[in-house]
Amino acid sequence: MLFLCHWLVLLTFKHVHKPSLTAMIAQIFGDLLQFSSDGLGSMVSVAFFPMSIQPQNRVSGTLVLRSILILVLGWMVVGFGGSQAIGQQVDPFSIPLPGQLPNPSEAQASQLPEWIQNVDSFFGTYLVKPLEAVLFYDFGTPYWLGVKVPFVVVWLLFAGIFLTIRMGFINVRLFGHSIDLIRGKYDHEGDRGDLSHFQALSSALSGTVGLGNIAGVAIAIGTGGPGATFWLIFFGLIGMTTKFAECTLAVMYRTQDEKGNVLGGPMVYLSRGLHGMGYGALGKVLAVAFTILCIGGSFGGGNSYQVAQSLNAFQAEPAFAILKTSPWIYGVLMALAVGVVIIGGIKSIGNFAGIVVPFMCLAYLLMCLTILGTNYQRIPTALTEILKGAFSPAALYGGFFGVLVIGAKRACFSNEAGAGSAAIAHSAAKTEEPVSEGIVALLEPFIDTVVVCTLTGLMIVVSGVYRIPEVQQLAVDNKGSMVTLEAVTMNPNFAWFKYVLYTAIFFFAYSTCVSWSYYGERCFVSLFGQKSSLIYKFLFLSFTVLGSIVQPNNILEFSDMMILTMAIPNLIGVFLLSNQIYVQLQVYIAKLKSGEIGPQR
């Protein structure tokens, strides 16, 4: 994990040289000795004092990296000290699992004003339930498998396995090359596009690294047990190739709108790509279907869900008690904050994401690593629970297929591999080689799911809070951010970590709303023309406010339906165009080997 932290900083501060890095590591261990017995205050002072004495314009990436590594190792050293030893806490693994999960709470909505209850009831009765019956049709699987398996879950599993094999396990073979690409080693002046590889990845990550990583994982473990973590990782790994395929197509077939801005993504390559194969009518139908679903997804999973989950976390804090009876206040404030950024368009979003996303991820990863480090004795037990739960789960979690479905849904909702949404952001990358952006994009499910979701899952399993009845009730009520909050504050000596989590929750939700507004706006414009952009932004901000009013259960179901169902029209096109992707990939690899494509001199 320290490797990941190193690279995240290195991507932002690109001038760290090996000699200074070696000296820095030697200095770190010396500094650790200074505060190993002095606690947190000494640690922070040692970590950041060298930066404070530098001129403002000369704080180097080496110093920033040094300070971050000191904090990671320091928190662990302090945490291993006696007062925070886990032996002094009640072991939650000793709590027996109940025979079945609790039913959703009915009292939570009655505390709200009547007009809010009416809006929520209308949303659930006339929108969510009818759509669920159609989009999540299960072909009778509850009768012959004992659990509901939506067709889209099987669809995503098949797509990931097929594309991974078809592209020759590119998610493994060219992983190192993807790191070089986002570091800018292959960037060239004059490449078409609006964003650098790094900005495109950051923009896409700001849309995928969101409350699905904090709340979604917690809901998965609370309702599917530790084994759901395994399936999250599995779908994240095969999703890397799915993401590569759709983002390569996005650059291959991108075009421009009336204002000269890049317009790309499934709504473009489904129409243009399939037209070139002689399936023009099918391409138009699939493109329109994807566009409608993506607009719905931007309103739900990319907006209202983020607001609802972040609101749940803040409502648990006494200082924000007013949000329990007047949640609309949070929705209005979030709408104002999102509106300020989205008016600027993709370049504004790219600049915002390029700054916020790396440090947002780092702060959250540091917290997770610290909690895992101070509970290291439980990690072997947690890993055993995850593996056992993946293949032989407890009956209350719905058996093998029940856990697999939960893991698959939360993985796709989090990394969006197959949904096609991130391809819209990647289509704006500055490159003349479509495959290069596809290779960059495969990092997205790895960072989002294999790293961030796994750390969240492991932290929750290690804490054991998922076995506590009150916490299970939170998961069933789809209040996942509050489940993660319970795991973070389990150790009273780390109770202040809740403020780190609150900050991460806010920025995860905020950045996801900002990025998804771009995805939905591009789809809206492709249907109704450039003049409709402002109308879409008004609708989007309206759903931001709505997310603070409608209950989490309705929002999560609506979001799942929109985002997961986007994969059906998108992947039909990806399958039909997969030979073109394979040919482009072989040409790109040949250019790399011959030196025709090489790093900057």
**pLDDT grade, residue 354 (50/70/90)?**
low
256 forms bridges with which residues in the sheet? 262
For the residues 201-213, what does the mean pLDDT come to?
Answer: 70
Lowest mean pLDDT among 19-23, 70-74, 558-562: 19-23
Query: Residue holding tokens 């915002």?
Result: 352
Residue 147 CB-density burial (10 A; 0-12 exposed, 13-18 middle, 19+ buried): middle
* CA R_g for the chain: 23
- Cα three-residue angle 162-292-344, rounded to 5 degrees: 100
What is the model's pLDDT at position 19? 41
The rounded mean pLDDT for the chain is 77
Of 314, 300, 229, give the one whose Cα is nearest residue 513.
300
**156 occurs within a structural domain:** yes
Cβ atoms < 10 Å from Cβ of 536? 22
Q: Does position 46 have pLDDT exceeding 90, yes or no?
A: no
Q: Which amino acid is at 249?
A: L
Distance (Å, rounded) from C-alpha 346 to C-alpha 337? 16
User: 97 and 394 in contact (C-beta within 8 Å)?
Assistant: yes
**108 occurs within a structural domain:** no
Token duo for residue 599: 């790093």
What is the model's pLDDT at position 167? 93
Tens digit of pLDDT for each residue in 389-430?
A: 888 877 667 678 788 888 888 887 777 788 888 888 788 777
End-to-end CA distance of the chain: 31
**251 occurs within a structural domain:** yes
More confident residue, 120 or 168: 168
Query: Residue holding tokens 């200095």?
Result: 27
**438 occurs within a structural domain:** yes
**78 occurs within a structural domain:** no
* Residue 263 φ then ψ, to 5°: -125, 110
User: 398 and 147 in contact (C-beta within 8 Å)?
Assistant: yes
What is the model's pLDDT at position 206? 64
What is the model's pLDDT at position 292? 92
**540 occurs within a structural domain:** yes
Query: Residue holding tokens 């939570």?
Result: 108
How many helical (H) and strand (E) elements, i.e. helices and strands, does the chain have?
Answer: 33, 2
For the residues 115-124, what does the mean pLDDT come to?
Answer: 70
What is the model's pLDDT at position 485? 87
Distance (Å, rounded) from C-alpha 11 to C-alpha 73? 21
* Structural domain of 167: 114-594
Lowest mean pLDDT among 60-69, 426-435, 497-506: 60-69
Distance (Å, rounded) from C-alpha 364 to C-alpha 459? 12
Distance (Å, rounded) from C-alpha 499 to C-alpha 568? 39
Token duo for residue 386: 């995850």
What percentage of the chain exceeds 70 in pLDDT?
A: 73
What is the model's pLDDT at position 536? 93
More confident residue, 284 or 195: 284
* Residue 445 φ then ψ, to 5°: -65, -30
Q: Does position 72 have pLDDT exceeding 70, yes or no?
A: no
User: 215 and 484 in contact (C-beta within 8 Å)?
Assistant: yes
Q: Which amino acid is at 130?
A: P
CA distances from 290 to 138, 235, 243, 455, 593 (A): 21, 22, 16, 32, 37
Of 478, 466, 310, give the one whose Cα is nearest residue 409.
478
Distance (Å, rounded) from C-alpha 366 to C-alpha 269? 39
What percentage of the chain exceeds 90 in pLDDT?
A: 20
What's the structural domain count of the chain? 1
Token duo for residue 321: 């008690």
Residues near 177 by Cβ (< 8 Å), separated by ≥ 6?
A: 439, 592
Tens digit of pLDDT for each residue in 181-193?
A: 887 777 666 566 5
**64 occurs within a structural domain:** no
**515 occurs within a structural domain:** yes
Q: Which amino acid is at 475?
A: A
What is the model's pLDDT at position 13? 41
- Cα three-residue angle 574-575-578, rounded to 5 degrees: 80
Residues near 139 by Cβ (< 8 Å), separated by ≥ 6?
A: 151
For residue 428, what is the domain's CATH number?
A: 1.20.1740
Could you say which DSSP state residue 429 is in?
Answer: B
Residues near 432 by Cβ (< 8 Å), separated by ≥ 6?
A: 188, 191, 192
Residues near 444 by Cβ (< 8 Å), separated by ≥ 6?
A: 201, 204, 205, 208, 240, 243, 415, 417, 422
Cβ atoms < 10 Å from Cβ of 215? 34
Distance (Å, rounded) from C-alpha 600 to C-alpha 496? 45
